[in-house]
Amino acid sequence: MATKPPASDIDEARLRVSHPKRVAVGVPAVMHALEISYEQMGVARSVQTLLRVNQKDGFDCPGCAWPEEDKRHLAEFCENGAKAVAEEATLRRVGPEFFAEHSIEDLNGHDDYWLGQQGRLTHPMVLDEGATHYRPISWDDALSEIADHLQALDDPDEATFYTSGRTSNEAAFLYQLLVRGFGTNNLPDCSNMCHESSGSALNETLGIGKGTVSIDDIHEADLLIVAGQNPGTNHPRMLSALEKAKSRGARIIAVNPLPEAGLVRFENPQTVKGVLLGGTKLADRFVQIRLGGDQALFQAIGKHILEQDAAGAGIVDHDFIAEHTDGFDAYRQAMADVPWRELVAATGIPEKKLRAIADEVVRAKATIVCWAMGLTQHKHSVPTLRDVVNVLLLQGNIGRAGAGVCPVRGHSNVQGDRTMGIYEKPAEAFLAALDEEFSFTAPREQGYDTVEAIRAMRDGKTRFFMGMGGNFVSATPDTEVVEDAMRRVDLTVQVSTKLNRSHVVTGKRAIILPVLGRTDRDRRGGREQRVTVEDSMGAVHSSRGRLAPPSEDMLSEVAILARLCGMLFAPGAEPVEAPSHDGHPERGQAERPAGEAADAAEARGVPHADWEALETDYALIRTHIQNVVPGFDDFEQRIDKGRTLHLPNGPRDARRFATASGKARFTANPLEYPRIPRGRLLLQTLRSHDQYNTTVYGEDDRYRGIRHGRRVVLVNQHDIAELGFAEGDVVDLVSEWAGPDGAFQERRASEFRIVAYRTPRGNAAAYYPETNVLVPLDSVADVSGTPTSKSVIVRLERRADD
């Protein structure tokens, strides 16, 4: 099967800029997907693989978490889903010979595109302290070393265990059990950088950390507000659902600083209309908002609705408010007090237009608000999302058909991972059930989230780091700080499918464990195993890979974790304790006297389960899940029948709100929005069309008219002129930030080409992860702690050599 050899690093000198597209998807998208698939997999494997994506007996697409429609198309995938699959199902391999050929220094000289292109990891590898190259290691040696290292720590909190959202439910459940059995809640995950703000706001106000709509609700909505999201690139299958809603008469309002292609017009490649008739115009109204202006927009909507209601329009659902909510009076007062002038300044939208948008909400019989990173990655994201909830509560738009909140999740199982307990702040009810099921006592103290984990590494408090998937070094903010922090850790372990930066920027010693992905056949204990995942709308279904694994020498995530649990918790294994601190006198961090740590470990005990059996029969893990997590009754029988399990959702199912007061909560939030100093720009860091987070698929951002390059900064043409630059100039981006102590800090990302783009005045955009170096570690959202990747103050600086 012929595949093309990997391409070289991106040569930014070849960059070409043309007009952005107005239409998303269509036939060019399908052609591009097939091209990438053929390059990575050859033709036969491409066809075999792509036909299985999201089919009832196939595998769950690793591309995104948007749910499947009940009636599935033969090819239930999209361009970017196909690219995600091709990345994993590639025939290229990274084995021992590759690592013998390339030193760490050599690998570090390549960009993320080149690293990701090299292929699938096939063999466990270790990097000895001070070594220039990784060398092969056996599974037994690698896993024993990890277990020994953990056992030798002074305190379980010296270990941190990261998770990215592709991990299956079964693996996630075992992983959190391993970590809690070991004695810590240090379980940071990619969600901390993603929808944590949604979880925080929704938990407080609705008593659930997830959305409250199903796919049917999307189809039945009367009005869909899609804010801070670029579905044409990041959730292309969502466009089909929006198209369906539209065909039933729904209106769509897109709220975005950028006129993103998919939101404007969509050509469905699976319908004749899409292919031949130029597709559907999706957004009825495009609201070009300033970065960080969404709280003001939703306050404006709320204010207008309340004003109209007071004037006798009868549009507020007072019965719903009286029966199901609290806090209304304070919210009403706050909206009366907030001046229109401020709302206009924050959004950049005139009052008349704000009122016209609000009138659309007034008229709609059922409204859904969908959002993604444009709303979650700001300092004031949590209050912004509370104000989204306020607006929906006004008209009783929670817990009825066609209405509700719809945070559109990113990674294909990021929501399931949280349901399985991957969370640094676990709920007491979950821990109590875990204790009962496995006869031990899980730790109660909160663990580190992602930003806290980096601080702990930086401060020398972390001696062990394990990544269950993901690319911690490239995905997190403040790249230089993170790289130094990572290098301080004694042992770093990455469980991965593909090569990435986190394999070359490592702790003093590093282990790579290659792992099976979604598309790979997983045979254990003489039978094919399946796993389960949960989509963005709380529906759980099974996934089974069909392709021959990249090598015979690979394990599944479940197998790795079950073996580690066996080593740490099998009868005779002692819980981690601190016999003495003599082994590490230089660390001087004997925070807990040794005796106390030993007593704590003794009291905790270890989880009890038949670890070997779990490794060879994943159904047994599902039984444990069913016993611990509510909503999984008859789990195995239901997935046997190919059914989807719809997890219980109090607000949606019965207008039941598990908040402190038992009611949905209106909140009064002071208006916040970013202030941009003169001569500076507010930068958002976002995804191109050819990448999956830190994995760069290709060199183009087709819809935005950027080809053969990624180091671009999109700026309004008037700002370019006013700042004294010209289109095409190459500049450094310098971020400016006053830290928590008030001290001024600068960070630099070098050599970005200026591109004139339709972004609001004062706002700019550039790709992540190249710009993560600009995001200060301590610049996080209030309450949720999410890095503020969508609001970084920068100045453009002419390069000295120009």
Residues binding ligand MGD (CB under 6 A): 63-64, 80, 164, 166, 190, 193-194, 227-230, 233-235, 255-258, 260, 289, 291-292, 294, 372-374, 410-411, 468-472, 475, 495-498, 500, 515, 517-518, 557, 684-687, 691-695, 768, 771-772, 775, 789-790
Q: Which is nearer to Mo ion, 90 or 415 (CB)?
A: 415
Q: Which is nearer to Mo ion, 194 or 422 (CB)?
A: 194
- 416 in contact with Mo ion (CB under 5 A): no
Residue among 450, 573, 459, 572 at smallest CA distance from 186: 450
Q: Which is nearer to Mo ion, 235 or 581 (CB)?
A: 235
Joined together, the tokens standing for residue 329 give 């009076």
Residues contacting Mo ion: total by CB under 5 A: 2
Smallest separation (angstroms) from Mo ion to the CB of 446: 22
Fill in the per-residue mask, 188 to 217: x = in contact with Mo ion (CB under 5 A), - = not in contact.
Answer: ------x-----------------------
CA 696 centroid distance within chain: 16
Q: Residue 781 touches which of Mo ion, ligand MGD, none (CB < 5 to 8 A by kind)?
A: none
Smallest separation (angstroms) from Mo ion to the CB of 318: 38
Q: Residue 228 touches which of Mo ion, ligand MGD, none (CB < 5 to 8 A by kind)?
A: ligand MGD
Smallest separation (angstroms) from ligand MGD to the CB of 92: 14
Q: Residue 531 touches which of Mo ion, ligand MGD, none (CB < 5 to 8 A by kind)?
A: none
Q: Which is nearer to ligand MGD, 498 or 622 (CB)?
A: 498
Residue among 612, 580, 573 at smallest CA distance from 596: 580
- 408 in contact with Mo ion (CB under 5 A): no
Smallest separation (angstroms) from Mo ion to the CB of 230: 12
Q: Residue 294 touches which of ligand MGD, Mo ion, none (CB < 5 to 8 A by kind)?
A: ligand MGD
Question: Under DSSP, is residue 433 helix (H, G, I), strand (E, B) or coil?
Answer: helix
Phi, psi of 123, rounded to the nearest 5 degrees: -145, 140
Residues 6+ apart with CB under 8 A from 129: 508, 509
Minimal CB distance to Mo ion: which residue?
Answer: 410
Q: Which is nearer to ligand MGD, 94 or 796 (CB)?
A: 94
Dist CA 98 CA 177 (whole Å): 35
- 410 in contact with Mo ion (CB under 5 A): yes
C-alpha count within 13 angstroms, C-beta hemisphere, residue 105: 3
Of 37-45, 88-96, 402-410, 622-630, the window that binds Mo ion (rule: CB under 5 A) is 402-410
Q: Residue 49 touches which of ligand MGD, Mo ion, none (CB < 5 to 8 A by kind)?
A: none
Residues 6+ apart with CB under 8 A from 27: 267, 269, 275
DSSP 529-560: --EEEE-TTSEEEEE---BPPS-TT-B-HHHH
Joined together, the tokens standing for residue 761 give 């005045």
Distances (CA, A) of 271 to 25, 27, 82, 244, 279: 12, 11, 18, 12, 9
Q: Which is nearer to ligand MGD, 257 or 402 (CB)?
A: 257
Q: Residue 164 touches which of ligand MGD, Mo ion, none (CB < 5 to 8 A by kind)?
A: ligand MGD
Q: Which is nearer to ligand MGD, 664 or 781 (CB)?
A: 781
- 228 in contact with Mo ion (CB under 5 A): no
Q: Residue 115 touches which of Mo ion, ligand MGD, none (CB < 5 to 8 A by kind)?
A: none
Burial class (CB in 10 A: 0-12, 13-18, 19+), 425: exposed
Dist CA 444 CA 196 (whole Å): 20
Q: Residue 685 touches which of Mo ion, ligand MGD, none (CB < 5 to 8 A by kind)?
A: ligand MGD
Q: Which is nearer to Mo ion, 192 or 542 (CB)?
A: 192
Distances (CA, A) of 195 to 60, 385, 680: 21, 11, 28
Question: Under DSSP, is residue 58 helix (H, G, I), strand (E, B) or coil?
Answer: coil
Dist CA 172 CA 531 (whole Å): 11
Residues 6+ apart with CB under 8 A from 222: 249, 250, 251, 364, 365, 366, 367, 402
Residue ranges in contact with Mo ion by CB under 5 A: 194, 410
